[in-house]
Amino acid sequence: MTNRLTFETAQNYLDQQVDERSEEMMIMEDYARSTKFPIIGPVAGNFCYQIARMIGATSVFEMGSGYGYSTAWFARAVQENGGGVVHHVVWDVELSNKARLHLERLGYDDILKYHVSEAVETLENNQGPYDLIFNDIEKDAYPSSLEVIERSLKPGGVLIVDNMLLGGRILDQNDESSTVMGVRELTAQINASDRWIMSIVPIRDGLLLAYRVS
């Protein structure tokens, strides 16, 4: 019998293609599963790492970093690219402290800069320019964040935005919640601009990958 390809089976297959992570990364993944904390997961994490390696990123700014799981993937890339800085930004002191613990154990602490503050304002005050910006803030704030991102990302840089599928809610034309409308508006903004070349990659909950042309 032919196996039926579904979104779930495709994601499971992709997960099998990611190399085994370090013990510390597995601890972070186990914590996310047990607490239902929303991390990007190994497939999206590996994708972000690959992009950062491909462009030779040495300066990365994360908008919404959680307890450092996505940060670890970017830090690994920056370290392998010869060093630089990755900005970890969260509102919550406890999350920031938890991230510091994990990232120090992973050997990335020397290239991390930690901020306990609001992400857009922090980017405004630390404009770079950056090789790569990762955006995972509240979705209703996505559209208003783009102006600051465009000022902070260098031409030839890359923007990655998480949660572009919203578990399928993005397909429901009757859903006009602030979360869904925020994702739709950001997608439309980038699509309509000649500053960007973009694609949405259906990994996990959807990643927008945008190349800054000018």
Domain 7-212 superfamily per CATH: Vaccinia Virus protein VP39 (3.40.50.150)
Read off the pLDDT of residues 181-195 as tens digits, 9 standing for 90 and up. Answer: 999 999 999 999 999
Q: Give the pLDDT band of residue 7 (cuts 50, 70, 90).
A: confident
> In this predicted structure, what is the pLDDT of residue 57?
98
In this structure, are residues 157 and 55 in contact, taking their beta carbons and an 8 Å threshold? yes
> In this predicted structure, what is the pLDDT of residue 202?
95
pLDDT averaged over the chain?
95
With H, G, I as helix, E, B as strand and everything else as coil, classify residue 179.
Answer: helix
Please tell me the distance from the alpha carbon of residue 167 to that of residue 16, in angstroms, as a whole number. Answer: 21
Read off the pLDDT of residues 54-74 as tens digits, 9 standing for 90 and up. Answer: 999 999 999 999 999 999 999
Q: With a cut of 90, say whether residue 94 has pLDDT above it.
A: yes
Q: With a cut of 70, say whether residue 2 has pLDDT above it.
A: no
Where do the domains of the chain lie?
Answer: 7-212
- The strand ranges marked E within 56-206 are 59-63, 85-90, 112-116, 130-135, 153-162, 196-201
Read off the pLDDT of residues 116-172 as tens digits, 9 standing for 90 and up. Answer: 999 999 999 998 899 999 999 999 999 999 999 999 999 999 999 999 999 999 999
Q: Give the pLDDT band of residue 1 (cuts 50, 70, 90).
A: very low
Dihedral Cα 11, 89, 36, 5, nearest 10 deg: -10
Query: Which H or E element spans position 210?
Result: strand 207-212
The CA–CA distances, whole Å, from 76 to 84, 132, 154, 185, 203 equal: 11, 14, 21, 32, 20
With H, G, I as helix, E, B as strand and everything else as coil, classify residue 170.
Answer: helix
- Among 12-26, 151-165, 170-184, name the one with the lowest average pLDDT: 12-26
